[in-house]
Amino acid sequence: MDFEMVMQELEALGKERIKKTYLNNGAHEPLFGVATGAMKPLAKKIKKNQPLAEQLYATGNYDAMYFAGIIADPMKMTEADFDRWIDAAYFYMLSDYVVAVTLAETDIAQVVADKWIASGEELRMSAGWSCYCWLLGNRPDDEFSTSKIASMLDQVEKTIHDSPDRTKSAMNNFIYTVGISFLPLHEKALETAKAVGPVEVRRGKKKSSILIASENIQKDIDRGQLGFKRKYVRC
């Protein structure tokens, strides 16, 4: 399938109700409003296709950009490619659920995520912390430096309440992910979560959200999820 055909297919899959939901979450035109599940049959036909993914991502169309993440071949992407993608990711559903997810399937994931976390830019930082969540929730514990993850928990504890809203949300998720999916620091993550307490995240015109990592960790422990790892990062 070529670029034009994929764009036509995506447009045909669009739903006005889903489009409104995406717009309310921070997407802007152009977009069609395609449910992520509805993209799966199309993705199965195409499989991985990096040149096509690049064409789709460059459109600025939210649905095309999201689909680009599904069919991207992360191992063919360089650090410069990921920087270009994060530059174009204009809201969190792209930064955290397309770019960070795609990055998490590469060998350069931690190097790039570390740079983004240190950038001081809201969505770059958010994508960096989110990438670690995808990594920790999928890869074996022995692929990570325990001392490095511990120092990242310390950094979250010190800076989360003064961070930009989307970064706050990703940092809070990092505490939770370490608490559930990285067993060597389960106890430290719980202590960090309690020290941090409730985290207020403003969501534009919507009511603020209050995030409490300690409660989420406990809920998943009660469900028997301690040590949970995803089989795949991307759907």
Residue 29 falls within a domain, yes or no? no
Residue 43 falls within a domain, yes or no? no
Determine the distance from the C-alpha atom of residue 177 to the mean position of all C-alpha atoms in its chain, rounded to a whole number. Answer: 12
Q: How far apart are CA 164 and CA 157, in angstroms?
A: 14
What's the structural domain count of the chain?
1
Residue 129 falls within a domain, yes or no? yes
Q: How confident is the model over 169-201, as pLDDT tens digits?
A: 999 999 999 999 999 999 999 999 999 999 999
pTM score, whole prediction: 0.95
Residue 82 falls within a domain, yes or no? no
Residue 26 falls within a domain, yes or no? no
| Residue range(s) defining the domain that contains residue 198 | 109-235
Burial pattern 130-151, b for ≥16 Cβ within 10 A else e, equals bbbbbbbbbbeeeebeeeebbe
Residue 11 falls within a domain, yes or no? no
Residue 104 falls within a domain, yes or no? no
Residue 125 falls within a domain, yes or no? yes
Q: How confident is the model over 114-166, as pLDDT tens digits?
A: 999 999 999 999 999 999 999 999 999 999 999 999 999 999 999 999 999 99
By CB atoms closer than 10 A (0-12, 13-18, 19+), residue 169 is buried
DSSP string, 206-220: EEEEEE-HHHHHHHH
